[in-house]
């Protein structure tokens, strides 16, 4: 069941960005406006004027007795709170998680175990390194944090879109983040890993190798939040009603498949639309193309060694290939409502790895244990005190009967006289819960060991899974990795850092190392590749089968005199599959042909190839060679997108230097059903990969 939507969340009026559809000033109350008729102060005192400060005469000094001025400015002065120390840039949405019931044998947590149980959720996606105002499409890991408002209390699954992490022990977190963040002297570069300090750290601290190669892969530049996988990263322990335990790794699998931008697209978007991912999430929800993921678990026996097939389950730099432990689906997540207010919800939401419910426990992964401290601690500075669970977005949907009291921003008016236990004054209440309902009781386990700043020997293997990841990918994905390393190391100034980068690559793959060395103009070090082991094709994101196309956008280049009937036909076919069509023309307004009317949603000035998943040229589109239209088509071609044209639109393709016979180019005399079907098929494959040899290097 979708969460109840406040009136402020109703969709905006369908006015095109070019002004078409505007019917003059609104009459009556705008449903998205603030409620209430009369302007007041924060204390509810009605105000006649908030535009002029109180002065002694029109040219006179402002009077200290202007209480309204002081209150208004005082509040404004304090509107900002500290941004998150990491993951500052993000976007969130509300949704529902529905359990399949298949986890019933593994855990007593109803949120996962009870068939058909619907649990409201709030999800926040993020980049890691950039500031709040940084671009969405930078090369980085993405956060994928989910707050489940379960009936047994709040459970947070605070994951990433990459299944492993840079470090094995939380004590290294300040180091890796200080290295990745902008240089402390100039505070550049913003939201980038392509700089000396990042590469200095990850080439010295080689346990970062595996995560780094994922960042250099297409996973570092997702097409959309909707097309990202999510991973809990750490191993968790599930406990069932019979107190039997198993170890699991959580996976989110996107319904639309895992897809990425090309590197050039990512860079263009960072300039042309820095809000690219945020906009995509918001728009797709408003358009009813609700983002969807399946939650799955890899299940391992809870043995004293805490390993599986030789892989240390406590080492967060290691994953378990799906071929060894298949991901078993246990539920579905649908995001179906945008936040009403970004600050109140997306900014103030506070996730915490220690927010666990009965039936879900952590493990001794030293990274997870450090996180369990950090996520509480950080909120004290960010949200200004210990009462952040009372902020609306953080409030549990389960009854709260705690004994915390007072503190900054206390909103509860607690009753009773005995916030301690045991007590007799309040009749002994609250009483301890029964085991069946309670969390934070560990299944008894023996703990012993010598105190020391140590790590298991298995943590010393820093390369084998990086090699496995690289070796398992398609040659196109491997090429992207080589291009990414060449770019990033090429942005470093220190020769020794580049050389160390190559020394790491020499252990991963000889050909990869040679390619990057050639790009840097440096000699390749002697190959010493480690054995990657059995390959894991599940790691590939280029798959042979098509994915659903919900929310994908096809741009149609048109203009006065274009075949509007053909456009309408194409739109009907696309919309039937959940995709959208936007008309691009030299100017805004409308295109009219008799009774046929098309609203121009993007002009040659406001449109850019990056926002379209395919571009089609209509019969009758302008043939004046406008460089903006030409650029749009050439970019789409380079980025391996579906390209199409019907009628004399084919001439426009030719004039842009696009061969109508090239792979993934769809042409025909008319906008027929067959042409629409081919366009839909092209969208489903994400890109025309077999066009790759025709486009220049280092851009896709
Ligand atoms: Fe985080 N991380 N992290 N992290 N992390 C934060 O918490 C931290 C790690 C992740 O949308 C902070 O509330 C430490 C792994 C996400 O609000 C902070 C360590 C994974 C988000 C913090 C890690 C993550 C954060 C900053 C090493 C993937 C955004 C603000 C031990 C499994 C949550 C905040 C949101 C945010 C600490 C490592 C994911 C400082 C100490 C591994 C998705 O508490």
Does residue 535 surpass a pLDDT of 90? yes
- Which two tokens mark 404? 């915390």
Alpha-carbon distances, residue 666 vs 27, 570, 663, 676 (angstroms): 46, 13, 8, 9
Structure tokens at 684: 């489903």
What is d(CA 222, CA 256) in angstroms, rounded to the nearest whole number? 12
Q: What's the whole-number mean pLDDT along residues 652-681?
A: 97
Retrieve residue 680's tokens: 């839909």
Closest to 155 (Cα-Cα) out of 487, 402, 394, 442: 394
Contact status, residue 118 vs residue 136, Cβ threshold 8 Å: no
Q: Is the ipTM of this complex over 0.95?
A: yes
Q: Which of 160, 161, 387, 394 is catalytic?
A: 160
Give first-to-last CA distance, the chain, whole Å: 41
φ, ψ for residue 330, nearest 5 deg: -130, -5
* Tens digit of each residue's pLDDT (9 = 90 or more) over 101-128: 999 999 999 999 999 999 999 999 999 9
Among residues 253, 276, 144, 230, which one has the least CA distance to residue 547?
Answer: 253
CA proximity to 453, closest of 366, 355, 361: 366
Residues sharing a CB contact under 8 Å with residue 27, sequence separation 6 or more, in sequence order = none
Mutate which of 222, 365, 375, 388 to test ligand 1's pocket (most atoms within 8 Å of Cβ)? Answer: 375
What's the whole-number mean pLDDT along residues 348-377?
97
**Can you name the residues that pair with 99 across neighbouring β-strands?**
331
Per residue in 618-628, pLDDT tens?
999 999 999 99
536: confidence class by pLDDT, cuts 50, 70, 90: very high
The rounded distance, in Å, linking the Cα atoms of 458 and 454 is 12
For residues 608-634, average pLDDT = 97
Is 336 in contact with 2 (CB distance < 8 Å)? yes
- Give the model confidence (pLDDT) of 201-260 as tens digits: 999 999 999 999 999 999 999 999 999 999 999 999 999 999 999 999 999 999 999 999
Ligand 1 atom with minimal separation from the 124 CA: 11
Give me the DSSP letters along 372-432. HHHHHHHHHHHSSSS-GGGSGGG--SS---------TT------SS--SSS-STTTTPSPP
Whether 697 is catalytic: no
> Residues with Cβ within 6 A of ligand 1?
84-87, 90, 124, 126, 143, 145, 158-160, 165, 170, 173, 233, 349-351, 367, 370-371, 374-375, 378
Helix/strand/coil (H/E/C) assignment for every residue in 334-386: EEEECCCCHHHHHHCCCCCCCCCCCCEECCCCHHHHHHHHHHHHHHHHHCCCC
Does pLDDT of 45 surpass 90? Answer: yes
How far apart CA 108 and CA 31 sit, in angstroms, is: 43
Instruction: Show the domains of the chain with their CATH numbers.
Output: 90-165+219-394 (2.40.180.10), 463-539 (1.20.1370.20), 553-694 (3.40.50.880)
Check if 336 is active-site: no
Residue 697's pLDDT is 56
The predicted model gives 612-619 an average pLDDT of 98
Of 87, 211, 259, 355, the catalytic one is 87
Tens of pLDDT, residues 557-590: 999 999 999 999 999 999 999 999 999 999 999 9
* C-alpha–C-alpha distance, residues 125 and 346, integer Å: 9
Number of other residues whose CB lies within 10 A of the CB of residue 521 = 8
Look-up of token digits 């990491």: 86
Label the pairing between strands 118-127 and 360-361.
unpaired
Distance (angstroms) between ligand 1 centre and the Cα of 349 equals 13
Percent of all residues in the chain with a pLDDT value above 70, rounded to a whole number: 94
- What does pLDDT average to over the chain? 94
Cα(419)–Cα(410) distance, integer angstroms:
15
């Amino acid at each position: 069941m979708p969460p109840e939507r406040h009136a402020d969340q109703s969709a905006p009026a369908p006015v095109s960005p070019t002004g078409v559809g505007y019917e003059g000033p609104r009459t009556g109350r705008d449903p998205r406006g603030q409620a209430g008729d009369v302007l007041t102060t924060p204390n509810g005192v009605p105000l006649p004027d908030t535009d002029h400060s109180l002065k002694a005469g029109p040219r006179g000094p402002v009077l200290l007795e202007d209480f309204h001025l002081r209150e208004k400015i005082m509040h404004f002065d304090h509107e900002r709170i500290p941004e998150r120390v990491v993951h500052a840039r993000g976007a969130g949405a509300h949704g529902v998680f529905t359990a399949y019931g298949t986890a019933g044998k593994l855990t007593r947590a109803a949120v996962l175990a009870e068939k058909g149980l619907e649990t409201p959720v709030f999800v926040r996606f993020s980049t890691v390194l950039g500031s709040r105002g940084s671009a969405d499409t930078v090369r980085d890991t993405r956060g994928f944090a989910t707050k489940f408002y379960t009936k047994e209390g709040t459970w947070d699954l605070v994951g990433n879109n990459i299944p492993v992490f840079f470090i094995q022990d939380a004590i290294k977190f300040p180091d890796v983040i200080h290295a990745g963040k902008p240089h402390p002297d100039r505070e550049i570069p913003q939201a980038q890993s392509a700089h000396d300090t990042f590469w200095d750290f990850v080439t010295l601290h080689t346990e970062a190798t595996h995560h780094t190669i994922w960042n250099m892969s297409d996973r570092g530049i997702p097409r959309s939040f909707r097309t990202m996988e999510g991973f809990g990263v750490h191993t968790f322990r599930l406990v069932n009603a019979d107190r039997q335990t198993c170890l699991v790794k959580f996976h989110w699998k996107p319904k639309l498949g895992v897809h990425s931008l090309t590197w050039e697209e990512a860079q263009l978007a960072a300039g042309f639309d820095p809000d690219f991912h945020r906009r995509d999430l918001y728009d797709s929800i408003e358009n009813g193309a609700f983002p969807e993921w399946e939650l799955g678990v890899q299940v391992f026996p809870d043995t004293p060694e805490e390993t599986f097939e030789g892989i240390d389950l406590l080492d967060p730099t290691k994953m378990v290939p799906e071929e060894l432990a298949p991901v078993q689906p246990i539920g579905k997540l649908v995001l179906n409502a945008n936040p009403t207010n970004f600050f109140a919800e997306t900014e103030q939401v506070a996730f915490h790895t220690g927010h666990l419910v009965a039936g879900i426990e952590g493990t001794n992964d030293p990274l997870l244990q450090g996180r369990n401290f950090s996520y509480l601690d950080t909120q004290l500075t960010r949200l200004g005190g210990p009462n952040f669970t009372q902020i609306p977005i953080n409030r549990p949907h389960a009854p709260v009967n705690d004994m915390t009291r007072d503190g900054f921003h206390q909103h509860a008016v607690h009753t009773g006289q005995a916030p301690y236990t045991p007590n007799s004054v309040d009749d002994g209440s609250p009483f301890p819960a029964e085991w069946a309902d309670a969390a934070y009781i560990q299944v008894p386990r023996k703990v012993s060991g010598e105190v020391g700043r140590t790590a298991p020997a298995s943590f010393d293997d820093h390369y084998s899974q990086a090699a496995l990841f690289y070796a398992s990918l398609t040659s196109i994905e491997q090429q992207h990795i080589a291009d990414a390393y060449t770019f990033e190391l090429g942005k470093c100034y220190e020769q020794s850092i580049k050389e160390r980068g190559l020394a790491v690559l020499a252990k991963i793959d000889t050909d990869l190392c040679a390619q990057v060395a050639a790009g840097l103009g440096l000699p390749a070090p002697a190959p010493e590749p480690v054995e990657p082991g059995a390959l894991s094709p599940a790691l590939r994101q280029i798959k042979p089968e098509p994915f659903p196309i919900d929310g994908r956008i096809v741009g149609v280049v048109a203009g006065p005199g274009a075949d509007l009937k053909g456009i309408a036909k194409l739109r009907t076919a696309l919309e039937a599959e959940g995709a959208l069509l936007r008309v691009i023309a030299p100017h805004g307004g409308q295109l009219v042909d008799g009774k046929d009317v098309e609203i121009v949603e993007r002009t040659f000035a406001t449109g850019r190839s990056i926002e379209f998943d395919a571009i089609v040229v209509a019969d009758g589109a302008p043939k004046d060679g406008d460089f903006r239209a030409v650029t749009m088509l050439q970019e789409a071609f380079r980025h391996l997108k579906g390209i199409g044209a019907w009628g004399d639109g084919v001439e426009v393709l030719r004039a842009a230097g696009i061969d109508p016979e090239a792979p993934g180019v769809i042409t025909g005399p008319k906008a027929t059903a067959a042409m629409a079907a081919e366009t839909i098929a092209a969208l489903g494959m994400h890109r025309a990969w077999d066009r790759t040899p025709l486009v220049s290097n280092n851009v896709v």
